[in-house]
Amino acid sequence: MDLPATLTDQEFWRIVTEFSEPGGVFQPEFMSNEDSSQFVIPTLKQTTRPGGVYIGVGPEQNFTYIAAIRPNIAFIVDIRRDNMLEHLMYKALFELSGDRADFISHLFSRKRPASLDSNSSVNALFDAYKSVEPDPALYEETVRVVWTHLATKHRFPLSDLDKAGIANLMNTFRFAGPYLLRGTGDTNLTYASSMTATDLTGGQQSYLGSEQKFKLVQDLQKRNLILPLVGDFAGPKTIMSIGRYVEDHSATVDVFYVSNVERYLWEQGDHGKQFYANAKMLPINTSSTFIRSVTSDISRRLGVGLPIGVANWRSFLSPISDSLRAFAEGRVHSYREMFEIVR
C-alpha cells in the first residue's frame, strides 16, 4: 500500500476539481439527521483495519466514522456543491482550532467559556456553550480568517460565489447554535445532542467525543487527506476516479458510508444499476463494508432494524463484496432486498 502521507495543496485541489462532477439538486443538509450512526461503530472498529480508504456522503457524520476507523485518506462524495463548501469550511476550522473548545467557538461564532480546556468532556463542552450568545464580531472575524486560510494559505481558487456560500453556511451555524441546528426532517436531533450521544453500550463515539478523536480528524485535515468531491453515486466520473486512484496506490476501500442514497437511486431506475457498476470498480477486500441508513418508518416496512423507540433511524453494516455479488447474480431487485445482506 503506498497511499500518500500528505497531499500538497495543488494536488488536493487537482483531485477535488478533476474527480468532481457538475453539482445537482437535493435538499439542503447542514448536519446529519441520523441518530443511529454511532450504533454500528463498535462492530465497525472490530472489522476494519486502520490505514485504508474511506468514502462517505453528507456533512459532519463522516468525521465520526473517520475518527473510528482511522483511514489514511477519505473521500466525501455528495451531489450538492454546498456540501463541498461546507467541508472546506470545516477543513479551515479544524486547522485553525487549538482544541475542541476552540473549534466549537469558531463553528458557532460564540466566545469560548474560560472554564473549558482540552480535558473537558464533550458533555461539559456543550453544556458550557448552552447559554453563550452568538457574537457578530466573532462571526465576521472567523469568516474573514476562513476565507484567507483557504484562498491565501492553501491557494484554493475560490470564486466570490464560493466565498458567499461559505459565509452563508457559517451564518446558519451562528444563528441556530449547537442546540437549535438540526438535520432536515428530524425535530429531535440537534448538533449538541448528536455530539453527546452514545452507541448502544454507552460509549461516546462522535468526533468531538474526546480530544483524541478530534485530533485524529484534525491531523488528516492538516495533511489534506479528507477530500470533498461533488459527485453523483451513479455519475460517470467521481466514483470511477476514486476507484482508479485507490487502485493506482495499491490500496482498498475499507468503508463506504452510503447513508440512504441508494433509496433515491432505486427510485430513478437505472441509476441504481449504474451505482453498483461504479462500486464494482472500487478495489475492495472481504472486510470492505457499506454503512447503510434508513428512517425507522421505512425500516419497519422493510422488516429490519432495532426495536421501535431506540432511535428514529436504523444503521446497518453490509459486506460490499456480498452486496455486489448479490446484485450481479440477480438476487437483488429492490431497495428492501439490499438490507437482507448484513454483517
> Tens digit of pLDDT for each residue in 230-267?
999 999 999 999 999 999 999 999 999 999 888 888 88
What is the reported pLDDT for 267?
80
Residue 106 has pLDDT above 70, yes or no: yes
What is the reported pLDDT for 302?
59
Q: Give Cα 296 to chain centroid, integer Å.
A: 21
- Give dist(CA 239, CA 278) in Å, integer: 6
> Can you tell me the mean pLDDT for 18-31?
86
The dihedrals phi and psi of 256, each to the nearest 5 degrees, come to -130, 105
Q: Which residue, 221, 228, 242, 204, is CA-closest to 103?
A: 221
Window from 20-29, 88-97, 162-171, 234-243 with minimum mean pLDDT? 20-29
Q: Which residues pair with 59 in a beta bridge?
A: none
What is the reported pLDDT for 96?
98
Angle at 205 between CA 111 and CA 96, to 5 degrees: 35
Residue 39 carries which DSSP code? G
Whole-prediction pTM value? 0.95
Determine contact, residues 30/173, Cβ cutoff 8 Å.
yes
Looking up cell 487549538 gives: 98
Looking up cell 457559517 gives: 170
List C-alpha distances in Å: 299 to 42, 189, 312, 335. 21, 18, 10, 11
What is the reported pLDDT for 41?
97
What is the reported pLDDT for 312?
84
- Give dist(CA 29, CA 32) in Å, integer: 7
- Give dist(CA 337, CA 327) in Å, integer: 10
Hey, what's the cell of 102? 476552540
Determine contact, residues 193/81, Cβ cutoff 8 Å.
no
Q: Which helix (H) or strand (E) holds 301?
A: helix 296-302
Determine contact, residues 183/37, Cβ cutoff 8 Å.
no
Residue 73 carries which DSSP code? E
Q: Which residues contact 105 (CB under 8 A, 6 or more apart)?
A: 97, 111, 112, 129, 138
List C-alpha distances in Å: 165 to 42, 80, 88, 205, 325. 36, 12, 11, 30, 41
What is the reported pLDDT for 334?
74
The dihedrals phi and psi of 18, each to the nearest 5 degrees, come to -75, -30
> Can you tell me the mean pLDDT for 279-283?
95
Average pLDDT, the chain: 92
Classify 84 as helix, strand or coil: helix
Determine contact, residues 284/321, Cβ cutoff 8 Å.
yes
Hey, what's the cell of 335? 431497495
Hey, what's the cell of 207? 468526533
Residue 31 has pLDDT above 60, yes or no: yes
